[in-house]
Chain A
Amino acid sequence: MKKALALSALVALSLAAAQKTVTLAWSGAITGPTSDAGASYAAGVEDYCKYANAQNLLPGVRLNCVVRDDQYNNANTQRNFEDFVGNMNVPVFLSYSTGSNLQLKGVIEETKVPTLPASYHIGLIDPPNNTYMFLPVSSYSENIVALLEYIAKKDRGAKVALVVNPSPFGRDPVVDARKAAQRLGLKIVDVQEVGGNNLDNTAMLRRFESQGVKYVINQNTAGPVANILKDAKRLGLLGKMQFMGAHYTGGEDLTKLAGDAAEDFIWATSYYLYDEGDRPGIQLVKKIGAQYGRKADTIRSVHYTSGMLAAAIAVEALKRAKNDLTAAGLYKGLTSMNGSRAFQPGFTVGPVTFSAKDHVGAESLRLLQADKTGNFKAITGPQRSQMFQLVHPLR
């Protein structure tokens, strides 16, 4: 009996000794600007990481889950990156904002650490220094071009206005949108920049009205868009103009802020939503959220799912890296996700595929429209924008 106990203790000890620890680290805005999205995203990363440990998704590997607030401050992101890569030897960097990722592109290239940002800015995977940047889902630019295609099918020659955030995050898709609109026979009659301090949008909306704008496409965060929708409702423009937006404009956050003014808003995103409980990914989101005691609002947020997707991609890449738990191994694991080996975590409307040339994960997206209760319902099936590759060929 004693011998058996000693033997099992020895086996347990040797197993523990054989277990490797890998740090899965995220840096983003839990406080400060855009923290409404960042806090849920952080929760998603953290919970999936804990879940991977609990479920032993990586046999012989214990994940050290690190989620750090950078306050949307680029210098803080760089500090976190240096700490993660220099001291914690992370094989993958889960990052957040557009500005910090653009700033870090050169360093990421130098350190060869694959990076999965929460920003879906196409410039991140454009050359130069784009080898190690991977967008988990389709880019903002593709979201917007897909919305333009939808308009063109319904109303060729329609007048469109773009409302974008006054930042690289907001401005970048404008060039592709202009090119696509020209090919699709649409007229972009106005491009306005609107930040988070837009208390009154009357002047802008009246101008759109006088210009005959029928479609307003937003590339922004939910807060400013909600204010625009509320003003449009007050001015009686909701039936006259169709409001639309790219990934970060919509979802629960928008309906929470805009209330019934969000009705009919059309949203482009690659993610499944909380209300689609029949989807395996959403079932997992609910299960993990409940397991780790998250509030209902957090679990319902699409950003919680987004955080989980980023962590899930990293965990899957580590699994595929097998014994090479380094950045190089993870890169190989990541770029093996294609063809029959595509990754299907179920959080997005299509599989996640990467290769050395393909740096967009879930390429499919859907258009969804908000109903009276504020819930978004799909109005298209999973699709890719036909025009996007023509206006922005990816190298």
Chain B
Amino acid sequence: MPASRLTQTGNYRTRYTQDQTIFATAAEQLSLIVFVLLLLTLPLLLPKTLLRDVNLIMIYAVAVIGLNVTTGYTGLINIGQAAFMGVGAYATALAATRLNLPFFLAIPLGGVVAALIGTLVGLPSLRLKYLYLAIATLAFQIIFEWTVGHLPVLQQGSAISLPTVQVFGIRDTFLNHNAFWYYIILPVLVLMALLWRNVLRTRHGRALIAVRDNDRAAAAMGIHPGTAKLTAFLLGSFYAGIAGGLFAYFQKAVVIEDYGLHVSVQLLAMAIVGGLGSLPGSFLGPLFIVALDRSMEALSGWLGAQNLFPEGVDVATALRPLAFGLTIMLFLMFEPRGLANWWRLTRLYFKRWPYKF
């Protein structure tokens, strides 16, 4: 046994049950609790505009966990995650406006509807793999946009406004909007992350990874690859649906432009940069991409103000897509395991420092 449960560095597990705990060490558990507590104070420290970005990062993180479930953990390429977000957002909007459901019921309902649609979209995965499956999910993205654009009940993609939310007597107003939603999105994110961490410990979660690594070997071990793939789509789109519902309320209205193909590509980029098949990567990816976007915005604004370029040469037009594309390319070339690997190496360093044993 280690001298202290908080400073242990080695693997002292002697039973399978110990191997199945959510957190590997007590230090990990404690640091996470402290981190979440610190996060609760964030709205007091951050300016309102930055807090909006944090909220967006957290919403994207929920969607990226879902994308990681299908693509990262199960190996099913999905280029339609924004469409699943959209299904959740529109279902949430309809539940809130037509059924008058409160937000804490409307958002999960959006997740369930997205999960059902996601399972249907996942059906081709029983027969298709790799690029072929990617195209099937891309087709869903296009079908989704077309369907919304032609359905009068969804305002043909025009805005469906969400009702104003009130929690414990506190009303969502312009002045408290970002802080208000921060305290709703953060617990949802924590819950969703814990849920996935728990699912991974079950035989269903392990089956997904087995199918990703080798579906024939998985089948030989008694895992039904088809069921596992559909489970992955069900869970992945459920996460996307929840993210869509949160996004709809956060933006106060649903508009089709927010769930286009470019958003799916952005989510995929977040998953790749963060690290496919990694839970910390699902947080780091959105954080990195949003921070990159804001940095490029500031940089191009600054460069534009220096009068270095002739009029008509828009620095931002070139710089932002360039930075986005280059980042993905460089990550794929030099760090395919994404930022999650840097996180892992950093943790390893501090685990051993200063010469603990």
Residues of A within 8 A of B (CB): 30-31, 35, 39, 69, 71-72, 74-75, 78-79, 82-83, 85-87, 99-100, 102-107, 110-111, 123, 129, 166-168, 171-172, 193, 293-295, 297-298
Contacts and interface: CB of A to CB of B under 8 A. Distances in A.
Name which of B145, B178, B252, B257 has the most chain A CB atoms within 10 A of its CB.
B257
A199 to B, nearest CB: 16
B205 interface: no
A34 to B, nearest CB: 11
B56 interface: yes
Interface stretch (B118-126, B312-320, B340-348, B349-357): B312-320
B157 interface: yes
Given A111-B174, A295-B311, A99 B255 contact: yes
B31 interface: no
A324 to B, nearest CB: 21
B158 to A, nearest CB: 4
Interface string B149-188: 1000001111101001000000001110110000000000
A103 B255 contact: yes
B257 A79 contact: no
A86 B251 contact: no
A103 B312 contact: no
A168 B252 contact: no
Contacts of A75: 56, 251, 258
Given A74-B257, A85-B174, A35 B317 contact: yes
Contacts of A110: 173-174
Contacts of B251: 74-75, 78, 103
B48 A82 contact: yes
A193 B56 CA distance: 31
A205 B177 CA distance: 49
Given A111-B174, A168-B157, 8 more contacts: A31-B314, A31-B320, A99-B255, A103-B159, A103-B252, A106-B253, A171-B149, A171-B158
A372 to B, nearest CB: 28
Contacts of B4: none
Contacts of B149: 166-167, 171, 193
B26 to A, nearest CB: 39
Q: What 4 A-B pairs have minimum CB-CB distances, sorted nearest first?
A: A102-B159, A168-B158, A103-B253, A99-B255
B52 interface: yes
A39 B316 CA distance: 12
B258 A74 contact: yes
B51 to A, nearest CB: 10
Q: Which of A103, A193, A298 counts the most chain B CB atoms within 10 A?
A: A103
Contacts of B253: 102-103, 105-106
B297 interface: yes
Contact of B161 (A39, A82, A86, A106): A106
B157 A69 contact: no
9 contacts: A83-B48, A102-B158, A103-B255, A106-B161, A107-B252, A166-B145, A167-B257, A168-B155, A295-B311
Contacts of B53: 79
Interface in B265-299: 297
A123 B314 contact: no
Contacts of B297: 69
B52 A79 contact: yes
Contacts of B64: none
A75 B263 CA distance: 12
B255 A102 contact: yes
Contact of A30 (B158, B257, B316): B316
B311 A293 contact: yes
B232 interface: no
Contacts of B48: 82-83, 86-87
B58 interface: no
A129 B312 CA distance: 38
B279 to A, nearest CB: 25
B14 interface: no
A172 B161 contact: no
B124 to A, nearest CB: 25
Contacts of B161: 105-106, 129
A30 B156 CA distance: 26
B152 to A, nearest CB: 10
B49 A99 contact: no
Contacts of B173: 110
Contacts of B174: 82, 85-86, 107, 110-111
B256 interface: yes
